[in-house]
Amino acid sequence: MRQKLAAGNWKMNGTGSDLAELAELIQSQGTATSELMICPPATLLSRAADLAQNSALTIGAQDCHSEQAGAHTGDISAAMLKEAGATAVILGHSERRADHSESSNTVAAKTQTAWAHGLTALVCLGETLDEREAGDTLKVVGDQLAASLPEGATGANTVLAYEPVWAIGTGKIPSLAQIAEVHDFLRAELTTRFGPQMAEATRLLYGGSVKPGNAAEIFATSNVDGALVGGASLKAADFSPIIAALDAS
């Protein structure tokens, strides 16, 4: 059985005062059956990890460099994230691919580095609106999967998140049939490349305008094992109903 996962990506939001939301989330979700994760900005990682000790909440990071160390001003290594208390790291988010021109090959290199330091790689995939309207969704997502995920992927070291670029922060979401089509496709692609055991063990998350009002129907969709949540994860009051919907699915 794959344990469901509700992961929150705070993106470039949050200062020390916002850690009160983590404390509230920890207190309110002590009986959650799903795995809970918050990925705060790097400046809050250590403090968030301290808060989350001995709780149901794990802490992830939002990116890492592909190199172990070196002359990379402003970047953060996987070893640094691990030392700060992170157990996972988001890689290949569409905002990184677009804003920083990250290729899938770059994502694969970062993934290998994350694994080498014991971090779970939460690898993001997704198409733009133009690609969706052109009927290229499965080709785009399939190409990203093939190039972003190195050999050695397992259900323990990897989580995949399907995030259609056009749905992130827009309030728009694909139809349930479209979500199911991509998630079923990803499971099949993993089976073909890595075998059924790995495919069945790997969690597939949906991300893109997940809210309390639509969470239950998304979680009832084929091969959806949880969510990568953006804005709605910033407040415990917004994230908690999503977690409850996942627990109930």
Residue from 232, 120, 114 nearest 173 by CA: 232
Distance CA 45, CA 176 (A): 34
The total number of structural domains that make up the chain: 1
| 100 catalytic per annotation | no
Q: Of the listed 93, 95, 183, 189, which one is catalytic?
A: 93
**DSSP β-ladder status, 5-9 and 158-162:** unpaired
Per-residue pLDDT 10s for the chain (249 aa) are 799 999 999 999 999 999 999 999 999 887 779 999 999 999 999 999 999 999 989 999 999 999 999 999 999 999 999 999 999 999 999 999 999 999 999 999 999 999 999 999 999 999 999 999 999 999 999 999 999 999 999 999 999 999 999 988 888 889 999 999 999 999 999 999 999 999 999 999 999 989 999 999 999 999 999 999 999 999 999 999 999 999 999
> Length of the chain in residues, anyone?
249
Domain range for 203: 5-248
- C-beta neighbour count of 222 within 10 angstroms: 13
Which of the 8 DSSP states describes residue 43? G
Q: Residue 87: CB partners within 8 Å, gap ≥ 6? A: 37, 58, 59, 60, 118, 119, 120
| 93 catalytic per annotation | yes
Q: Of the listed 102, 163, 183, 189, which one is catalytic?
A: 163
Q: Residue 218: CB partners within 8 Å, gap ≥ 6? A: 173, 176, 179, 206, 210, 224, 227
- At 49, which CATH number? 3.20.20.70
Which pLDDT score, from 0 to 100, does residue 109 have?
98
**DSSP β-ladder status, 120-125 and 5-9:** unpaired
Distance CA 170, CA 94 (A): 14
